[in-house]
């Protein structure tokens, strides 16, 4: 702390401002001081008399955007820039990863890219890590610097810039595991979804009773409140199928998952009847992998392939014992598409799959 003396109020402590990429200090909030005489003055008014004009040109804000759930922003040269994020979401990390690929494809180092953009290396690194957001204007400048000739990709990236709007899943932040929220965000922003399930009913189509039976199997047991929160969050994911512009859904489900009576006969029957009804939607195609198909790629895995407006921004999520794992490199995406295509070759068509589900219902 440094002190400046003012006649009417005595010493005033000035907080040190943390360094901010780009050379500016962090946002500073000036609080009012009340003199003994009862007159009220702001520190900002007093500082204008002692701070050089060169420093007064820096506009510092500490503005809260309601949709951003507490994200502070700093305005610089007519542009809003997000302050460092403590925990970037999967979509924010995905945005940064694609910018890094574009920079590397252009053969530019981070310092050189920063120089051409008129900023510093730290800013480029933080943007690529998802810790900073950038405006659409800067995104398009970067795309030009990186000589990206894919307008579809640039437009898709531009749609991811600016302040982040809160999604329905943010209501559950801090209440359910973070990867639950990441999966919901990936699904919500996808234009189409492909899944492979060999042991479970797809989460988007699970009934509340089925989901509760699954969560009750956890060891050690989950607190009852957390179970109910997880169920509510899982049921809410169904919105991607029913919204005004729904995602198209292609699901591959092994016969083993259909025959497993999770929660008992009645819950299992209700789950299959719900699944059968969902398969009749125009944007939903469910295909059963019968026992008779034998082996197939990714047997035993649980896969989600989320397609974006640009194929470069597709994302794959795979379940693991420790949580969701995400893949987004071009080679990985290509391999997952090929594997899913191969599994489709051994699956029943849509009508035969519905017949198979109906037959299993009769025998439950």
Long-range contact pairs involving 140-143 (C-beta distance under 8 Å, separation at least 24):
141/117, 142/99, 142/102, 142/103, 142/113, 142/117, 143/102
Q: Which of 348, 336, 259, 256 has the alpha carbon at shortest distance from 304?
A: 336
Report pLDDT for 118.
93
68: in domain: no
Pairwise CA distance, residues 253 & 197, whole Å: 5
Q: Which domain holds residue 283?
A: 168-363
Q: Are residues 247 and 295 located together in one domain of the fold?
A: yes
Q: What φ, ψ does residue 272 adopt, rounded to 5°?
A: -65, -40
CATH number of the domain bearing residue 350: 3.30.870
CA distances from 55 to 6, 42, 160, 239 (A): 20, 18, 33, 50
Domain count, the chain: 3
What pLDDT, on a 0 to 100 scale, did the predictor assign at position 85?
Answer: 72
231, 211 contact by CB (below 8 A):
yes
Cβ(193)–Cβ(250) under 8 Å?
A: yes
Name the DSSP letter for residue 176.
Answer: B
Query: Each residue's pLDDT tens digit in the chain (364 positions)?
Result: 444 443 444 444 444 434 433 443 333 333 333 344 444 444 344 334 433 343 333 333 233 233 333 333 333 443 444 456 778 899 999 999 999 999 999 999 999 999 999 999 999 999 999 998 889 999 999 999 999 999 999 999 999 986 667 899 999 999 999 999 999 999 999 999 999 999 999 999 999 999 999 999 999 999 999 999 999 999 999 999 999 999 999 999 999 999 999 999 999 999 999 999 999 999 999 999 999 999 999 998 999 999 999 999 999 999 998 889 999 999 999 999 999 999 999 999 999 999 999 999 999 9
Q: Looking at residue 193, what DSSP letter applies?
A: E
Domain annotation covers residue 66? no
Instruction: Check whether residue 152 and residue 262 sit in a common domain.
Output: no
DSSP run (H or E) holding 334: helix 330-344
- What pLDDT shows up at residue 83? 59
Residue 21 lies in a domain: yes
């Amino acid at each position: 702390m440094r002190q400046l003396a003012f006649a009417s109020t005595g010493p005033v402590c000035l907080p040190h401002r943390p360094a901010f990429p780009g050379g500016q200090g962090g946002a500073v909030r000036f609080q009012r001081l009340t003199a003994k005489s009862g007159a009220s003055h702001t520190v900002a008014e007093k500082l204008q008399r002692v701070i050089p004009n060169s420093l007064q040109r820096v506009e510092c804000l500490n503005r809260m955007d309601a949709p951003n759930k507490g994200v502070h922003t700093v305005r610089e040269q007519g542009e809003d820039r997000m302050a460092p994020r403590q925990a970037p979401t999967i979509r924010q990390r995905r945005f940064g990863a694609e910018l890094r690929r574009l920079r590397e494809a252009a053969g530019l180092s981070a310092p050189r890219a920063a120089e051409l953009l008129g900023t510093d290396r730290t800013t480029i690194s933080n943007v690529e890590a998802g810790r900073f957001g950038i405006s659409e204007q800067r995104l398009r400048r970067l795309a030009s610097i990186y000589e990206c000739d894919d307008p579809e990709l640039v437009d898709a990236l531009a749609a991811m810039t600016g302040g982040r709007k809160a999604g329905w899943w943010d209501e559950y932040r801090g209440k359910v595991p973070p990867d639950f929220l990441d999966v919901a965000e990936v699904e919500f922003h996808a234009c189409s979804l492909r899944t492979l399930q060999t042991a479970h009913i797809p989460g988007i189509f699970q009934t509340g009773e089925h989901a509760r039976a699954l969560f009750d199997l956890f060891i050690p047991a989950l607190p009852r409140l957390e179970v109910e929160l997880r169920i509510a969050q899982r049921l809410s994911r169904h919105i991607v199928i029913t919204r005004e512009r729904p995602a198209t859904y292609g699901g591959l489900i092994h016969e083993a998952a259909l025959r497993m009576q999770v929660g008992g006969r009645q819950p299992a029957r209700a789950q299959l009847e719900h699944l059968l009804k969902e398969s009749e939607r125009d944007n939903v195609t469910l295909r059963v992998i019968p026992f008779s198909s034998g082996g197939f790629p990714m047997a035993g895995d649980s896969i989600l392939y989320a397609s974006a407006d640009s194929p470069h921004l597709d994302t794959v999520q795979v379940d693991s014992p420790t949580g969701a794992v995400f893949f987004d490199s071009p080679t990985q995406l290509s391999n997952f598409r090929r594997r899913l295509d191969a599994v489709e070759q051994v699956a029943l068509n849509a009508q035969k799959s519905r017949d198979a589900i109906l037959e299993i219902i009769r025998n439950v």
